[in-house]
Structure 1
Amino acid sequence: MDIETAPVAFRQFVLKMHSRCDLACDHCYVYEHADTSWQRRPMVVSEDVLERTADRIAEHARAHGLETVHVVLHGGEPLLAGRTRLRAAAVALNRALDGVCALDLRIHTNGVTLNESLLDLFHQFDIHVGISLDGDKTANDLHRRYADGRSSYARVIRAVELLNQPRHRRLFAGLLCTIDVRNDPAAVYDALAALHPPRVDFLLPHATWEEPPLRPEGSETPYADWLMRVHSRWDGEGRPFPVRFFDSVHSTLAGGGSLTESLGLAPADLLVVETDGTLEQADSLKTAYDGAPATGYDVFRHSLDEAAEHPGLISRQLGLAGLARECRACPVVRSCGGGLYAHRYRTEADGTAGFDHPSVYCQDLFSVIHRIKEGIGMNGADADGPLLPEALLDELATGHGGAAAVTALRDAQLEVNRQLLDRLVDRVPELDVSDAWQLTTRLDREAPGALDQALLHPYLRPWAVRVLRAAEGGRTDEAASDALAGVAELAAGAAVSAGIDATLEVPLRDHGVLRLPGLGLLRLGGEAAPTATVTVDKQGFTVESGPVWHRVERPAPGPAPTDAEGRWEPRPQWTLAASGDALPWTVALEDRDPERALDCWQAAEPGDARDTAGWGEALQAAWELVCRELPGYAEGLRQGLTAVTPLRPSPDGRAVSAAARDAFGVVGAALPPAPEQLALLLVHEFQHVKLGAVFDLHDLFDRQDPRRYRAPWRPDLRPFEGLFQGAYAHIAVVEFWRARHRSLSDEGRTEQAEHAWEQFTTWLGHTHEAILVMAGSGTLTPSGERFVAAMRATVEPWVREAGSRSAADAVARRSGG
């Protein structure tokens, strides 16, 4: 398997300041679990270790181009290191990282010795403070006591009260609470909430299959039950502060990343520096066995990139491929991520031990994620829409996909776009009270077919994603303007298509251009005002903008209005006759829509009537060829590909084509000289469109896999999704050249047929090799394994076919034939 794994870039560092603690918490993973390395380490970190650590972090950040590194001063109890040594750590880190990257510096403490003097130091170096607190006094005293049994609760509360003073509040990072299911979850939550924390992190107590967690009788999932009672209270109060565990579940269920290493599939990027300068894996591994976190590296002799090559760290970069098989088959694996790595440790009956197991909290994690998912109405693979029926997914996996399969993909994309509009309304409050939104809701009642057609416009999703990014990035004015204009254009266009009586103010594009998505452009000229009043009736529509007035009549039959004055430029559209048993294909040329200039496309300038006619003729000829020679692709293409956007031709004459991940229903292409080439471009690019829509519905692979894979058709290494997309699209390329070889041979065009055979065998070899790499990658989910197996089953008969001919050719050469 040809896979390259780049060294991980560490972005998070735990720097041990002191290896002892002033409390004797009986659930502490450092002192109360399997690892005993703390006994052999210096109590306080030396200044040499601090300086060398800072230099190593800066070296690493510079090499990897990091924008920010996160460092947590930890222990033991880091405050025991004293003010002078804490200051030395801050000075060393700020010195080394000055001009290299930003530093997010924090300290995690039990808080019992926190005072004003230390907080003054933390203000000087912008050190944010996290406090460990397990709830109310009863809950906290269950574990967090002094060695003589005294309660630490009062001193911890005093520390939190200090941090809550106005002048210190900005340093308060949050509270960390270790769960004990014997504590009342409501009382714990209320006690923490009363302290007005900026964030709370609930942690499952560290445990393994060898040392399992406490499980009181009466429930198979006591930790899920406990967390869900807290979630219910937190959610019911309007989520008054972030909770890292719950926010991570919500984020991953919506397709985003996790906020904690204990959930999700993101590669681990954390490294620990002990008081003697040794480099270790996550502290939680101390739970597993003595020496479990050790790497054998230290800051004096080794770079951080060397440490990144440690097998234990690499195994935590593999995402889905690094999980046990039963985890990879789990429907919540994208959120759970197999749980915390340390919690997977288990010894088998034959004495072997390791982490290739589900978490000891597996049932609890499944339960809490599933219950949160049900509570927010996510019943598919993710938030985007329903799953495809298994039979249709299997059909698409062959490389083909008929009308039913592609219709299911199209319907799912419609739901995605509806959800995007709903999110826009949430993010842009002005939209909810706008006339455009009111017309949209009216269309949904009175003309749902016309609205659905407008919502399926290929460029709606890229536009909505762009606006949402602006809104979520704080560019609220830009987002509001773009959202109001886009929804007005959509509503006006749908009203024109439906022929319903409506009047709406629509913002104009640059140079007085009214855009009606899916219909065309009306050019009103420089005299027009910034907006236009669009009045729609059954016969057409009227536009008034400043002194400009224009009427566009709707002819019968035909969906597109026409215009005698030349201001109205309807979108060119054809219904192309088919050969054989195939049905006609209706396809448009999106050569004028301003939204067609996607990030990855170089759209051609609008053509004249001659260019448009040339496209119509070429599309007709290409469609006939697809129907005749590639019938397995014809119905899906007819059902799902509604538009083609002309792209700029390549200066060197190479074929140019493209598909965009978020633009279902359209492909881009420069018009090639021969219909055969256009047919190939269409089926090839529509494969990308189909697979992108499948990826919206099904997790076929680990989306967090950071590895790069060799694609035989490219010189550079590709992410797994790129390899997957390429292999799937090239199945159509292989079948195209196989069909062309057969047709050209039947026509007696021997030279052209041999060229087609060479193309067939070349692309077959590339595609088969890529499929084999995918099958052995370990990053596929069970659904992905089934999908790739079907791809393999499609191409391997062709491999045997090519091999048989090669063998026959070799025999003929040996015999002098």
Structure 2
Amino acid sequence: MNPAIPDRALRELGRTEGGTDSLGLLVRDQDTRRLVLLRAVLDAAAAAPTTVCPPPVLDRLYADWSLLEAAERADRAAVRTVLFHPMAGPWVQSLLGGLTSVTAAGPGLPADLTHLTALAAAAAIRAGVRCTARLAPRGGFVSLPTLGAVRVDSGPVELVHIAGEMAIRPAGGPSLVARTQPDGTVTSADPRWLPVLPLPALLPGTGPVPLDDLDPYRTGGGGLPRHGLSMAVRMDDHERKAWAACWSQMEPLLRAGGEHRLIEAAVLLRCVVPLGHPPGSGADAGGAAHCSGTRREAFGAVLSSRPATPVYFASTLVHELQHTKLAALGELVTLHHEDPVPRHFAPWRSDPRPFDGLLQGAYSHLALADYWQRYALGAQRVTPRDMAWAEHARCREQVGAVLPVLAGSAGLTREGRLLVNEMITLYHRMDDCPPPPGHLARAQAYVSTVKVIWQQRNGSRRQ
């Protein structure tokens, strides 16, 4: 048995489930990795040439680190809320890459270096620690991660935080005053202050989920279109209310897919990043009108356009959190030794997939098939029940088309074999409650048609 992950947890995760103990293993490992990366920033900065990290910049990094330490002594949980925010992951990886690059530092390094000041200030504000900071704007906004942003016209701003009151003095403009509330949010009557919207906690004892449309690292440098995703957006008041209304139904809708769906969302989901709808689609359309994704370096974040209905948002969370789980598990234990060549047929993609992508897709679609089956069995009205059966049948047939490839791989490790065997167990367990024959026939025809098209497009690649 691998000491990093017990077989019991592997079996739970293989069934796309996982209680608080199993999921906690993944969370603690990811959090530890984040702390190690953060500490590596100081070492990398100290070792970097002065042309990359000049002495004044290094001094400021040390001052920011000292402020983080003071804030952690005052309120460890508050500081961890900031440091474990998903968007701190892309930032720290970008910063480390710039500091350790064997070639010239990239143009984003100065902004990456100054972002630690914003993180430290946000941590101090959450912890109730007095601080002063000089913050540089990016794209017309000064960001305080997890809290919000200030709209500025130009230049850096001076921030002073004392006893729950925050004063921000933009260059050449009037000061802005904001106050920290008991729930950790920061509010201000000044329209220049844009708060992060906290979506209510899904379960007692867990924290709210930020709907973060403000963090400068939420989109990964504009590469989302390559993955079929639209760009991140900043929301107006109407859009925030629409998201909040959708979120208000998440607890019962996730629970409709089993208590484990609610638990995994409560444990793993740390922020939602709103995306725009794909080009040519309407806000209330279906199908291609929606897009969503995750980022391996941003553990706990789900990027999503607003789905047409709350139940589709619930299914989006189910789908994307499986990617979160499996990516975290893959960093904790090796699941396979297959090569990264994209050559496999996947019914949910038009292009060939590498083995790891095939495993990721099958895992997330298996969870969707399970979710929609449970939802259909509990639905009282005909229309949502019929919709759920159709979704279940399609997802299950898609998984069935690729499970033989996964099961037949000689590159699976012992842990990977255990995971895939449990996926197969869940797949066959769903036979106990089959969908209506019409839905099954349509799903089978759909997958067969997709496979023929894939073969015509990709020739003799492996299927």
Compute the TM-score of the two structures, normalised by the length of structure 2: 0.82
Between the aligned partners of 1:740 and 1:459, the Cα distance in structure 2 is: 32
Residue 776, structure 1, aligned to residue 404, structure 2:
no
Residue 391, structure 1, aligned to residue 8, structure 2:
yes
The equivalent residue for 1:287 is none
The equivalent residue for 1:366 is none
Matches within 5 A, 1:581-596: 586-596=208-218
The equivalent residue for 2:219 is 597
Between the aligned partners of 2:34 and 2:180, the Cα distance in structure 1 is: 30
Between the aligned partners of 1:798 and 1:727, the Cα distance in structure 2 is: 15
How much identity, in percent, do the aligned residues show? 26
Residue 681, structure 1, aligned to residue 321, structure 2:
no
CA shift in 2, pair 1:574/1:709, >3 Å: same
Matches within 5 A, 1:252-263: none
Q: Is the 8 A contact 1:458 1:665 kept in 2?
A: yes
Secondary structure in structure 2 of the residue aligned to 1:708: coil
Counterpart among 441, 448, 451 of residue 69 in structure 2: 441
Counterpart among 770, 779, 799 of residue 431 in structure 2: 799
Secondary structure in structure 2 of the residue aligned to 1:552: strand
Listed one character per residue, the Cα deviations across residues 568-597 of structure 1 (whole Å, up to 9, x for unaligned) are 11100121566xxx8777222112222222
Between the aligned partners of 1:492 and 1:522, the Cα distance in structure 2 is: 14
Between the aligned partners of 1:621 and 1:563, the Cα distance in structure 2 is: 28
TM-superposed CA distance for 1:389, in Å, is 4.0
The equivalent residue for 1:547 is 172
Listed one character per residue, the Cα deviations across residues 530-554 of structure 1 (whole Å, up to 9, x for unaligned) are x333222222222234334534332
Counterpart among 502, 505, 521 of residue 131 in structure 2: 502
The equivalent residue for 1:460 is 88
Matches within 5 A, 1:303-702: 387-429=4-46, 430=53, 432-434=58-60, 435-471=63-99, 472-476=101-105, 478=107, 480-511=109-140, 513-526=141-154, 529=155, 531-575=156-200, 586-598=208-220, 599-600=223-224, 601-650=229-278, 651-652=280-281, 653=285, 654=288, 655-702=290-337
Between the aligned partners of 1:389 and 1:742, the Cα distance in structure 2 is: 32
Between the aligned partners of 2:87 and 2:338, the Cα distance in structure 1 is: 25
CA shift in 2, pair 1:641/1:569, >3 Å: same
TM-superposed CA distance for 1:668, in Å, is 1.4
**Structure 1 gap ranges (5+):** 1-328, 332-379, 381-386, 811-817
CA shift in 2, pair 1:425/1:390, >3 Å: farther
CA shift in 2, pair 1:748/1:498, >3 Å: closer
Between the aligned partners of 1:547 and 1:806, the Cα distance in structure 2 is: 70
Structure with bigger gyration radius: 1
CA shift in 2, pair 1:490/1:585, >3 Å: closer
Secondary structure in structure 2 of the residue aligned to 1:636: helix
Matches within 5 A, 1:42-81: none
CA shift in 2, pair 1:629/1:446, >3 Å: same
Aligned length: 415
Q: Is the 8 A contact 1:428 1:479 kept in 2?
A: no
Matching residue's letter, 2:410: G
Matching residue's letter, 2:68: T
Compute the TM-score of the two structures, normalised by the length of structure 1: 0.48
CA shift in 2, pair 1:776/1:537, >3 Å: same
Computed over aligned residues only, the root mean square deviation of the Cα atoms, in angstroms, reads: 2.7
The equivalent residue for 1:273 is none
CA shift in 2, pair 1:574/1:712, >3 Å: closer
CA shift in 2, pair 1:436/1:480, >3 Å: farther
The structure whose residues are more often helix, as a share, is: 2
The equivalent residue for 1:153 is none
TM-superposed CA distance for 1:634, in Å, is 0.6
Q: Is the 8 A contact 2:338 2:412 kept in 1?
A: no
Secondary structure in structure 2 of the residue aligned to 1:669: strand
Between the aligned partners of 1:721 and 1:556, the Cα distance in structure 2 is: 44
CA shift in 2, pair 1:556/1:663, >3 Å: closer
Between the aligned partners of 1:510 and 1:479, the Cα distance in structure 2 is: 13
Higher relative contact order (CA 8 A, sep 6+): 2
Q: Is the 8 A contact 2:339 2:354 kept in 1?
A: no
TM-superposed CA distance for 1:708, in Å, is 2.3
Between the aligned partners of 2:355 and 2:187, the Cα distance in structure 1 is: 47
CA shift in 2, pair 1:546/1:647, >3 Å: closer
